Amino acid sequence: MMISTKGRYALRFLIDIAENQAEGYVPLKDVAKRQEISEKYLEILVKGLIKGGFLTALRGKGGGYRLSRAPEEYSIREILAWMEGPLVPVACLEGGQTCPRMEKCRTLSLWRGLDQVITQYLEQFTLADLIRQEEICNYVI
C-alpha cells in the first residue's frame, strides 16, 4: 500500500487548519503558503474534504475553512480511506468483492491479517495526535 500525494496533502491541510482555526476560518492561500502546496491542488482536495464532512467553508471576506469536528474526532484511517479509497492490501478484501478461489486460497488469511494490522494502526491515531507531534513510530498494535 502506498499513500498518494492526495492522502498525504489532505493530512497536512487538515493539521494546518486545526492549528490555525482558533481565530476563525482559515484562508486557503495561507495554508498553501505555509505548506508549500499549490492553491490549485488544495482546491481539489478541499472539495473532497467538504464532501466527506471533514471541513466547513465560509465564502467572502473573512472566509476560509474550519474543521467540522474537534481534531480528536478524526481518525487518520478515516481521512486516508476517504481520500484514497479502500486501504485494503488486495482487491479481494474490498467490500462486496468475492473471489471464486476464496474457499481454497492459501494466502487469504495473510491478506486479512495485514488488512487488520493496517486498519488498527491507522485507527489509533487522530489529527490531535499529529498536532501534538507525538512520536508515532513508537506506537505498536
> Three-state DSSP class for 140?
coil
Q: Which residue is listed with cell 476517504?
A: 82
Task: Please report, in angstroms and rounded to a whole number, the separation of the first and last CA atoms in the chain.
Answer: 18
- Nine-digit cell string for 126: 487522530
What stretch of H or E contains 31?
helix 28-35
Does the pLDDT value for residue 4 go beyond 70?
yes
Does the pLDDT value for residue 141 go beyond 60?
no
- Check which CATH number belongs to the domain holding 73 and give it: 1.10.10.10
User: How far is 52 from 81, CA to CA, in rounded Å?
Assistant: 11
- pLDDT digit string (tens) for 36-78? 999 999 999 999 999 999 999 999 988 999 999 999 999 999 9
| pLDDT reported for residue 136 | 60
> Three-state DSSP class for 9?
helix
User: How far is 50 from 54, CA to CA, in rounded Å?
Assistant: 6
| pLDDT reported for residue 134 | 57
| pLDDT reported for residue 133 | 75
Indicate the number of domains in the chain: 1
Alpha-carbon 31 to chain mean position: 17
Of the chain, the percentage scoring pLDDT greater than 90 comes to 74
Q: Which domain holds residue 34?
A: 1-141
- pLDDT digit string (tens) for 67-109? 999 999 999 999 999 999 999 998 888 876 677 888 888 998 9
Is this structure's pTM higher than 0.85? yes
